[in-house]
Amino acid sequence: MKYFLSFFLLAATILKAQTPIPDRVNGLSQLDLFNVKMKSNVACYRIPALVVANNGDLIAAIDERGPSCADLKANDNINIVMRKSRDNGKTWTDIRTIVDYPLGKSASDPSFINDSKTGAIFMFYNYMDLIKEKDIYYLHVVKSMDNGESWSEPEDITSQISKPEWHGDFKFITSGKGTQTASGVLLHTLVNLKHGVFVFGSSDHGKTWFLRDTPLKPADESKIIELSDGSWMVNSRVNSPGMRYVHISKNQGKSWTSKPELALPDPACNAAIIRYKSKNINCLLFVNAESKDTRKNLSIKISYDEGKTWSKGKTIYAGSAAYSDLVVMKNGDIGLLFEKNEYSENVFLSFPFQWITN
């Protein structure tokens, strides 16, 4: 197994200026961070994730898939790679590999949690040995204590956040990101397509991990966020009927209430939800492919009442768009990375909060 764990060499960490693509996305300059033209023997880059480190550095991770663009159980060569920006997404380092297994073993679906209290960045992914244990999913995490410059050896946390009877089930950690509560608890979501979505997390800054054994249904890839009253809200992809579902727990995941969210049309696709806070604003931001049946029309919406209602929304890109992730950068602007044009591009763009409301 090959891991890039040492500190980046100074010459390699110098930010490389990127020229914005001449075409602009709804008036916003864009950078295609991961494209098959950048490296040989890559079929596609898929499943983007974004995180902001405690020092403000911006890290983008993604699947590097070859020789095909197939998902984990049908692809024996998926690695996870990253790029990094120290200037709010204006320039980026070269592509670097975080996890690289030998042919026959694959890692897929990166997702992040930044522990703002310790500075640790956790990157989760799903692992499979297609030679020895095809169709058996394992759940891994690596950690960086230096803002993404180096990463730990992988830790298999399957036994902590799964159940023995799920060994052969189709299960995976949702790509994109988890969250951290005001009290410091780390939270994320695990999908078991047979049993539902489950919340997992850590109360000791990632030393150990727990599973809340209360299934959420209907639900597929899901994002969790803490509301202002301490409740947990899970916003879920479902495979029908063309909208998101929302699940609320007022007792830290012991029980949930669930309802369809008619204000959030969705074509069964992963999405992103984050909290935006400034001096005068405290709201939720949600981005997805806003369509009931087609992965297109990437749009962003605002909720000023903790997800009870949502704004009409603003289109970011009307064409083909799929998975996406959002962050609030150190300069206060919003950063977005999304799959564009039938997964052929993975575009980063940024905008101030006021752009959404203009």
User: According to the CATH classification, is domain 2-8+23-357 in 2.120.10.10?
Assistant: yes
Specify the pLDDT at position 358.
85
Answer yes or no: is pLDDT of 16 > 70. no
Mean pLDDT of 293-306: 98
Each as own residue / partner, the long-range contacts of residues 215-221 (CB below 8 Å, 24 or more positions apart, any chain) are 216/247, 216/256, 216/258, 217/258, 218/245, 218/258, 219/191, 219/245, 219/247, 220/191, 220/193, 220/268, 221/174, 221/175, 221/189, 221/191, 221/270
pLDDT category at 313 given cuts 50, 70, 90 is: very high
Each residue of 211-264: pLDDT tens digit?
999 999 999 999 999 999 999 999 999 998 899 999 999 999 999 999 999 999
Mean pLDDT of 163-169: 98
The Cα–Cα gap between 218 and 160 comes to: 24
Q: 170 or 2: which carries more pLDDT confidence?
A: 170
Burial 189-226 (b: 16+ CB within 10 A, else e): bbbbeebbbbbbbbeebbeebbbbebebebbbbbbbbb
pLDDT category at 27 given cuts 50, 70, 90 is: confident
Tracing tokens 């899970």 back to the chain, one arrives at: 234
Q: How far apart are the first and last CA of the chain?
A: 50
Determine how β-strand 121-129 pairs with β-strand 105-114: antiparallel
Cβ count within 10 A of residue 69: 17
Q: Please name every residue paired with 306 in a beta bridge, in sequence order, or none if there are none.
A: none
Residue 344 φ/ψ, nearest 5 degrees: -85, -20
Specify the pLDDT at position 215.
98
Specify the pLDDT at position 23.
52
Each residue of 79-136: pLDDT tens digit?
999 999 999 999 999 999 999 999 999 999 999 999 999 999 999 999 999 999 999 9
Specify the pLDDT at position 240.
85
State whether residue 303 is helix, strand or coil: strand
Radius of gyration of the chain (CA): 19
Map out the domains of the chain as residue ranges. 2-8+23-357
Answer yes or no: is pLDDT of 14 > 70. no
- Say which amino acid occupies 184: G
The Cα–Cα gap between 23 and 97 comes to: 29
Tell me the two tokens of residue 249: 């727990």
- Say which amino acid occupies 280: N
Mean pLDDT of 44-64: 98
Mean pLDDT of 337-348: 97
Q: Chain-wide mean pLDDT for the chain?
A: 93
Answer yes or no: is pLDDT of 12 > 70. no
Answer yes or no: is pLDDT of 6 > 90. no
